[in-house]
A and B are shown apart, each in its own frame.
Chain A
Amino acid sequence: MTYYRMALGAATVLALAIPAKAQDKTLTIAGSGGVVKEITEKVFLPAYEEATGWKTNFVAAESNIMLEVRTMLASGKMLYDAMEVSASNYPIGVKDGLLAKIDYDLLDPNGELPEKAKKEFGVVAAAYSTVLVQRLDKNPEGRKIESWADFWDVETFPGPRSLNRQPQYTLEFALLADGVATDDLYDVLGTEEGLDRAFAKLDEIKDHIPVWWTSGAQSVQLLSDGEVFYSSTYNGRVTKLQESGIPAEIVWNGGALHTSYVGIPKTAPNYEAAHDWIRIRTMRPDLEIEYVKQLPYPNFAPGLFDQMSEDMARNMPTYPENAEVQFVANDEFWAANIDHIRERFDEWLLE
C-alpha cells in the first residue's frame, strides 16, 4: 500500500509541475486524502478563496509528504505553499530543515491563539489520539480490555494483535503496560535502561503480532477483517469502523495525544499568502466546528468548545475526561532520539 502511495505521490508531483506556472494567484496546499480532503475542500478552501480572492489547489499527497518536500527542495522547485504536517513528521521537518518558520506577527497580530497551539515551525491544526481499540465480539465472556497491560495479557485476551510499525508511541505503550506512570514515560524512555525495558516488554508480545501496520487505513482494515482483535489506531478512524457495524471500542486509557500542524515548506513560493491560509485553518471556530462534526480532530480555534454539545465533546480526544487518562506525545523527544531508536526498532523487528 505504501508502494501505491509513493507512486501516487510521484504522479502528483509530475501533474503539478505543469499548471503551477500558469496561475500566479493560486495557493497550493498539500494534505491527506480521504475524509480530511473532503472536509477541507467543503469548509476551509471556499472560506479562504472568499476572504482572499485567491484560488486554491489542494493536493492529496498523503504517502510520504516529507519525501516529496525533500525532493522538491533538492530540485529547487518547491510546488507547495502550505502543508499538513503530521505529529511524526514535524520533528523530521524541524530536524532536516524542511520547514519555514511561522511569522506569528503576521498570522496572529492580536495574540488570540493560546501558547500551546503555537510551534516554531507550525500551528496546531488538529489534535488526535493513538488509542487502543478492541473488537468487543472477540473478547472473552464478560471481559473488556481497559489498559495496555490488558493488551499485553495474552492469557486473558487471546488472539492476534497489531501495533504501528514505528517506534513512536509503540514504545510508550510497552512502558505503560510494564507499569510506568504516564508522567514518567519520557524520563524512562530517555535512559538506556528504560529503552531496554521497553524493548524487553515488546519481546513478550512479538509473537502475538502477525502484522505491524504501516498506515491508519491498514490498522482499521485489519480490525474490520478480523485479522487482528486488538490494535492501536487513530481515534478518528474508529467512528467509521463503528459505523460499518464492527463492534469496536476505544480504550482512552493510555492513549497518546498528538497534535498535528499546518506549516510552510522552505522556499514556498507564496510565503505570506500561506499565513492567510493558516489563519483560516486554525483560528475560525465557525469553520472548525464543521470539521469536527465530521472528524473528531479538534484544534485550538478560540471558543471552539462553546459550539459543541456535551455528547460531542465527550468524543473529542481533548475532552477533559479523555485527556486526563492519556499522555501527551512528546514530539521533541522523538525529534532528538528518533534516529538511534528507530534503527534499533527496525532491527528489532527483523530479529
Chain B
Amino acid sequence: MKFRQILWLFLPATLLLVAFIAAPSFDLFRASVFDPDFTTEHFERLINRSVYLDVMWRTIRVSLTVAVLCTLIGYPVAFFINLQPRRRQTLLLFLILIPMWMSILIRTYAWIVILGRDGLVNQMLAMLGLATEPMQMLYTSGAVLAAMVQILLPIQILTCYAAMTEIDFDLIRAARVLGARPRQALARVFLPLSLDGTLTGLVIVFMLSMGFFITPALLGGRQDTMIANLIEFQVQRLNWSFAAALGVVLLVLTVGMIVALRGAGKLLARRVLKGGL
C-alpha cells in the first residue's frame, strides 16, 4: 500500500492529540495573554513579584526532593523485591499496589489523622512521655513531603522493579566470574543497567509532584503553597487570565525541568558507565 493511502490511519490519533492536548494547551496560552485584549500584565506580575518566583522555586524544590526521596527509598525496596522468590515477588508487588487503589484525597486525609495535634503520633509521644505539648506536624512542609512521598513511592518502586527484572541475571554471573565482588557487580553492572529505568521513575514522580494540589492544600501551611494551589486559588477568585498564566508557567517549568533532569541523568549515566563508581 502506498504511504498516501494509509495516511488516514493517522487521523484518529492526530484528532485525539489535537482535541485533548494541543487545543487545550493553545487555549490556556491564549487565555493567559488575552484579558480580553492582548496583554502581558499577568506574566509581568509573575516575574516582578518575588512571592510568585518563591512559589515556583518551592514547587521545583519540593518536587525534586520528593522525586529524590522516592528514588532513595524506592530503589532498595525494588531491589529487595527483585531478590525474592517469584511467588513472594507477586505478593509484595500486590501489597505495594494496594494503596494506589485509594484516592489521593483519602490518603491525604489519613495523614491528617496521623499528624494532627490529637493525632496518632502525638498521642504516642504523649503516652511514651516524650512530649508534654503536642508537636505541630500538620500544616508544615514536613507533612507535605511525607504524604507526597508516601503517595508517589509505589510508582517509583514499580518503575525500578520493572527496570530490574529486565536485567539478564547471567550478566551478574558474568561479572562475578570475571572477578567482581557482589558489591562491584552491583555498582558496575546492575546499577548502570537499572539507571535508565530509575531515572524514568524519578522524572515521572517529579512530573506528578509538580502538579500536586490536594496534599499541599490540606497538609501544608501557607508557606507550602505550590503552583497548582495558586492556580486553584486564582480560579476561585475568578482570575482566569492570571490562573492561565500560572498554568503556562507550570507547563513550561515542568517540561524544562524534565529536559534538564534527562540531561543530568545522561551525564550521570556516562560517569557511572565509565566505571566512575
Contact = CB atoms under 8 A, between A and B. Distances in A.
Complex: A in contact with B (CB within 8 Å): yes
Interface of A: 1-4, 64, 66-67, 70, 92, 96, 160, 209-212, 225-227, 342, 346-347, 349-351
Given A210-B136, A212-B222, A349-B222, A67 B238 contact: yes
A205 B139 CA distance: 16
Interface stretch (B4-12, B14-22, B228-236): B228-236
B221 A211 contact: yes
Given A350-B51, A350-B55, 17 more contacts: A2-B232, A3-B213, A3-B214, A3-B217, A67-B235, A67-B236, A67-B238, A211-B221, A212-B222, A225-B117, A225-B118, A226-B116, A227-B116, A227-B117, A227-B139, A349-B222, A350-B230
Contacts of B237: 342, 346
B232 A210 contact: no
Nearest to A347: B51
Contact of A2 (B49, B138, B225, B236): B236
Task: Indicate the member of B52, B138, B225 with the most A CB atoms within 10 Å.
Answer: B138
Interface of B: 49, 51-52, 54-55, 105, 116-118, 136, 138-140, 213-214, 217-218, 221-222, 225, 230, 232-233, 235-238
Contact of B116 (A64, A67, A225): A225
B117 to A, nearest CB: 5
A347 B234 CA distance: 12
B118 A226 contact: yes
Given A3-B232, A350-B55, A227 B138 contact: yes
Task: Indicate the member of B117, B136, B217, B232 with the most A CB atoms within 10 Å.
Answer: B117
Contacts of A96: 238
18 contacts: A2-B232, A3-B213, A3-B214, A4-B105, A67-B236, A70-B238, A209-B222, A210-B138, A210-B140, A211-B138, A211-B221, A225-B116, A227-B116, A342-B237, A346-B237, A350-B52, A350-B55, A350-B225
Contacts of A212: 222
A67 B232 CA distance: 12
A342 B136 CA distance: 28
A347 B55 CA distance: 10
A92 B222 CA distance: 25
B51 A351 contact: yes
A226 B217 CA distance: 19
A67 B51 CA distance: 26
A210 B134 CA distance: 14
Given A225-B118, A351-B51, A160 B235 contact: no
A350 B238 contact: no
B102 to A, nearest CB: 16
Contacts of B221: 210-211
B49 A347 contact: yes
A70 B138 CA distance: 35
Contacts of B235: 67
B51 A160 contact: no
A21 B237 CA distance: 31
B78 to A, nearest CB: 31
B54 A350 contact: yes
A226 B117 CA distance: 7
A70 B240 CA distance: 11
